[in-house]
Structure 1
Amino acid sequence: MGADQVASDDVVLLGRLRDGDDAAFGELYRRHSPMVRRFALSMQRPGIDVDDVVAEVFLRVLRAVRSGRGPRDAVRTYLFTVVRRVLAEWVAARRDELMNSDELGEHVPRQGDHQVTQAERELLARAFSRLPARWREVLWRTEVEGHRPASIAQQLGLTPNATAVLAHRARRGLREAYHQASEVPVGRARRCLRRV
């Protein structure tokens, strides 16, 4: 199949998708996800899962097309642009993190300091409880029980891509909630400094 035929078929699939045909989205995904994955791998950034990037890219394309925007033709070019945008956004978001989990582990006391361990657990539990129920569910299933997003998608009533995106957002939300829970309010910090 030549490049012109692929492009022509993509235009037909996009038209069907705009008309609400979910099977057309599945076909676009099957056609282009291997290429999107290879492209994302070629631009890979440390700490960013390529499968999460692919899922996010196709989710954004689906939303764009369903809302009347998105590509009309040149699907591959559009997908590459979305890959670049997703990676840029996620890299920028990671810059805002104080430390990654490996760095955090280096600063936690190696000895079993029960009070420190208990405080960390309480912070994590508080952060987890602040998340929306859907995020808590997907985090529990993926991070605690060890399921891959694709294996629990049907139980959650989502596509495998949407489940991967949900899991990624839930992890990011937990990280943000944990940082917020661990911050000492300014007034309290000043009172502590006065005592020292």
Structure 2
Amino acid sequence: MSDAVEAGPSPDDRALLERLRAGDDLAYGDLYRRHAPVVRRFALSRPRPGIDVDDVVAEVFLRTLRAVRTGHGPRETIRTYLLTAVRRVLGEWSAARRDEPMNADELGEHAPRQRDHQFVQAEGELLARAFDRLPARWREVLWRTEVEGHQPASIADQLGLTPNATAVLAHRARRGLREAYQQASELPVRRAARCLRRA
């Protein structure tokens, strides 16, 4: 069956979308892990002159998240919505690139840049794991500022904080996410080193 065809709404997807719409950040990671490989394969099958496929996947999921969080977006058939978003993003970015002169790096390229799919998938898993480990308050402020694009001052009242305290909280949360990501990424390296020492 083609990636672009969806047999019907998955109850799991519907439940995840409802959780995401209700503010459950963990549902986003579940949806990403479930659908990112298909979205990536579909993007790879489309013409994309000089456009990195991983940037397309990230943009598609970000747009979907914003749509859901503002009361729009998919309610049942997320796969169809995601693949339609791939076409839209590629169309917009391709049109924008036609209006830009090529830079020296692009002139020197003989083949599109390819990134190892397993590496990209593992990186996404590490980021989701690091985000999941953060305190709920940090996840909330990161989501509101980094994903939804709110300024700290605009969400301070909702968080019960002053604008300055919200900005400090956002700064600490970003630093915490960086540290959690580094710890998550070092764990497989330490495991591999132990295995090598035992070999």
Among 64, 68, 71, the alignment partner of 2:71 is 68
Give the greater-gyration-radius structure (CA).
1
Q: Over residues 76-105 of structure 1, what are the superposed CA-to-partner deviations in whole Å (9 max), with x where a residue is unaligned?
A: 110011000000000000011122334667
Write the distance in 1 (CA, Å) between the matches of 2:107 and 2:41.
Answer: 31
1:36-93 alpha-carbon deviations (Å, 9 max, x no partner): 0000000041210000000000000000000000001111110011000000000000
Matching residue within 31, 35, 45 for 1:32: 35
Match of 1:194 in 2: none
Could you tell me how far apart the structure 2 residues matched to 1:46 and 1:104 are?
13
- Extract unaligned runs of 5+ from structure 2: 1-6, 109-119, 131-138, 148-199
Query: What is the aligned counterpart of 1:82 among 82, 85, 92?
Result: 85
Q: Deviations over 1:3-26 (max 9, x none)?
A: 65x711111100000000011111
Structure 1 unmatched runs, 5+: 106-147, 164-196
Counterpart residue identity of residue 85, structure 2: V
Q: Partners in 2 of 1:103 and 1:58 — Cα distance?
A: 26
Alpha-carbon RMSD across the aligned residues, in angstroms, is 3.3
Q: Separation in 2 of the partners of 1:103 and 1:88?
A: 19
Alignment partner, residue 48 of structure 1: 51
Is the Cα–Cα contact under 8 Å of residues 33 and 54 in structure 1 kept in the other structure?
Answer: yes
Amino acid at match of 2:77: A
Instruction: Give the length in aligned residue pairs.
Output: 116
Q: What TM-score, normalized to structure 2?
A: 0.50
Equivalence for 2:96: 93
Corresponding residue of 2:12: 9
Partner residue, 1:118: none
The match for 2:25 is 22
Mapping of residues 106-121 of structure 1, within 5 Å: none
Separation of aligned partners in 2, 1:64 and 1:32? 17
Partner of 2:87, secondary structure, is: helix
Q: Percent identity?
A: 68
